[in-house]
Amino acid sequence: MNAQLTPAPAQGDLDAFWMPFTANRQFKANPRLLARAEGMYYWTADGREILDGVAGLWCVNAGHGRREITEAVTKQLGTMEYAPAFQMGHPIAFELANRLAKIAPPGLERIFFTNSGSESVDTALKIAIAYHRARGAGQRIRFIGREKGYHGVGFGGMSVGGMVNNRKVFGSSMLPGVDHLPHTLDVGNNAFSRGLPEWGAHLADALERLIALHDGSTIAAVIVEPIAGSAGVVLPPIGYLKRLREICDKHDILLIFDEVITGFGRVGKPFASQAFDVTPDLMTTAKGLTNGAIPMGAVFAHRKIYDAFMQGPENAIELFHGYTYSGHPVACAAALAALEVYTKEGLLTRAASLASEWENAVHSLRGLPHVIDVRNYGLIGAAELEPRAGKPGARGFEVFLECFERGVMVRQTGDTIAMSPPLIIESKQIARIVETLGTAIRETA
Ligand SMILES: Cc1ncc(COP(=O)(O)O)c(C=O)c1O
């Protein structure tokens, strides 16, 4: 527990940190500095309490300041702060991989460690290409992503991603051979759906068209988020993911689920793949893996993929890929402790028991000024606001600021306000998040 508030830097001291995904000049003119955290709350540098409606950035699933994680990290730092994982090993990385394999979707029992969601995605894409080559299908080098997809900021993830602002400046540097499925957000047909929308399973059939266009035998993998978070909460229509799975199977194409935000209990099962009963071949994770305490990611690979690599001479490295910090012992300690907390407190499934209360709460926003859609699943919610003419995102940003002024942290993407609170949330906190957002929406013209 961080009992002391960190002193706020003076105004000029904000210059050196080039902040990620931030309007730097706007922020530095009016900074929002978080200095301490515990349970469901942050405290600002000037001592204001902020209810965390987004689990930090969709990662602090067990709430802030978990003593068990702090102690495990401290102990590991005192025992062995670092050890390499190239041609060497350390027990805690194997222990964590075994632990993860136990909660994995069926067959996804081989775990490759990374340091972030972006690295997990680029790792999964590389594994997909190398897997096909290992089976004698080296011509399978294309990827299919999806519009509005977010798969981090590496060149691979950016190329398969479909958020225009993340791509447009880097257009000339994209991976070749990538195409995109249409996204599944359709406010016209699905506005105010409770849970998964009913309309839109047929959107998966666009994959057949891309396969016809590019020739299925050149495609390595399809990558989608089961639920897209960064683009403002985009849900899969009922039956959509199953259809994608069937088409991939038919054409021998790998299916990758990017579960960086949906993993570790967010949707009421350990992974969304289990909630939707669709098993991918590769699954990318990060964020909740360590409760956000130490950066870490993991790619879950199906055994058949791992086994395909284990064919050549036994002294040969099977996959020329890895990170200095793959399976970092301190990150492993944090992840093991986080998993222990999740298990003890039932957090990998708690979202399922809160889902209907959460759904009713977020749908109470329907009817407020400018609210054109409300979406929810598990402990994920979003309210989409009508953009101001000629000023997309302005209304959303003002609502986000108003919530913060009123002591609640939500996440804004354009004119969509997303919520994904820690999975320890209680009823009164659900009510406060939604009431505050409702007030902020009413107060914003
Ligand atoms: C689905 C998804 N994939 C990948 C990433 C990238 O993760 P990171 O920021 O840890 O690189 C994110 C981050 O929000 C994400 O939501």
Percent of the chain predicted with pLDDT > 70: 98
Q: Which atom of ligand 1 is nearest to the CA of 287?
A: 10
Ligand 1 cavity residues, CB under 6 Å: 116-118, 121, 150-152, 225, 229-230, 258, 260-261, 286
**Alpha carbon nearest to ligand 1 atom 3, residue:** 151
Mutating to test ligand 1, I would choose from 153, 230, 234, 264 the residue with most ligand atoms within 8 A of its C-beta, which is: 230
- Between the CA of residue 31 and those of 26, 50, 59, 217, what are the distances in Å? 8, 15, 22, 51
Q: Which atom of ligand 1 is nearest to the CA of 297?
A: 10
Reply yes or no on whether the pLDDT at 192 is more than 60: yes
Closest CA to 338 of 68, 90, 47, 85: 68
Q: Which atom of ligand 1 is nearest to the CA of 117?
A: 7
- 383 exposed, middle or buried (CB, 10 Å; 0-12, 13-18, 19+)? buried
User: What mean pLDDT, rounded, does the chain reach?
Assistant: 96
- Between the CA of residue 327 and those of 90, 116, 174, 331, 336, what are the distances in Å? 9, 12, 29, 7, 12
Reply yes or no on whether the pLDDT at 348 is more than 50: yes
* pLDDT tier at 5, thresholds 50, 70, 90: low
Question: 4 C-alpha vs ligand 1 centroid, how far in Å?
Answer: 30
Closest CA to 55 of 226, 263, 231, 336: 263
Cα 337 from Cα 291, distance rounded (Å): 9
Task: Return the pLDDT at 172.
Answer: 82
Mutating to test ligand 1, I would choose from 61, 118, 183, 325 the residue with most ligand atoms within 8 A of its C-beta, which is: 118
> How many Cβ atoms sit within 10 Å of the Cβ of residue 359?
18
* Alpha helix ranges (H) inside 107-239: 117-134, 155-160, 164-167, 187-190, 206-214
Question: 122 C-alpha vs ligand 1 centroid, how far in Å?
Answer: 11
pLDDT in tens, 227-284: 999 999 999 999 999 999 999 999 999 999 999 999 999 999 999 999 999 999 999 9
Q: Characterize 42-58 residue by residue with b for buried, 16 or more Cβ atoms within 10 angstroms of its Cβ, and e for exposed.
A: bbbbeeeebbbbbbbeb
Q: Rg (Cα) of the chain, in Å, rounded?
A: 22
Q: What is the mean pLDDT of residues 363-385?
A: 98
Closest CA to 165 of 23, 4, 362, 354: 23
Question: 195 C-alpha vs ligand 1 centroid, how far in Å?
Answer: 23
Query: Which residues touch 360 (CB under 8 Å, ≥6 apart)?
Result: none
What element of type H or E holds 408?
strand 408-409
Tokens 């407020």 correspond to: 368
Task: Return the pLDDT at 10.
Answer: 72
> How many Cβ atoms sit within 10 Å of the Cβ of residue 196?
22
**Alpha carbon nearest to ligand 1 atom 7, residue:** 117
- Between the CA of residue 145 and those of 11, 107, 132, 273, 334, what are the distances in Å? 42, 23, 18, 17, 32
Question: 435 C-alpha vs ligand 1 centroid, how far in Å?
Answer: 29
Task: Return the pLDDT at 2.
Answer: 46
Question: 111 C-alpha vs ligand 1 centroid, how far in Å?
Answer: 18
Closest CA to 376 of 242, 264, 240, 268: 268
Closest CA to 324 of 83, 80, 77, 152: 83
Task: Return the pLDDT at 100.
Answer: 98
Cα 140 from Cα 129, distance rounded (Å): 7
Question: 389 C-alpha vs ligand 1 centroid, how far in Å?
Answer: 30
Mutating to test ligand 1, I would choose from 287, 289, 380, 411 the residue with most ligand atoms within 8 A of its C-beta, which is: 287
Question: 120 C-alpha vs ligand 1 centroid, how far in Å?
Answer: 9
* pLDDT tier at 9, thresholds 50, 70, 90: confident
Question: 156 C-alpha vs ligand 1 centroid, how far in Å?
Answer: 13
Reply yes or no on whether the pLDDT at 205 is more than 90: yes
Q: What is the mean pLDDT of residues 208-228?
A: 98
Residue 73 and residue 337 in contact, taking contact as beta carbons nearer than 8 Å: yes
Residue 81 and residue 329 in contact, taking contact as beta carbons nearer than 8 Å: yes
Question: 382 C-alpha vs ligand 1 centroid, how far in Å?
Answer: 18
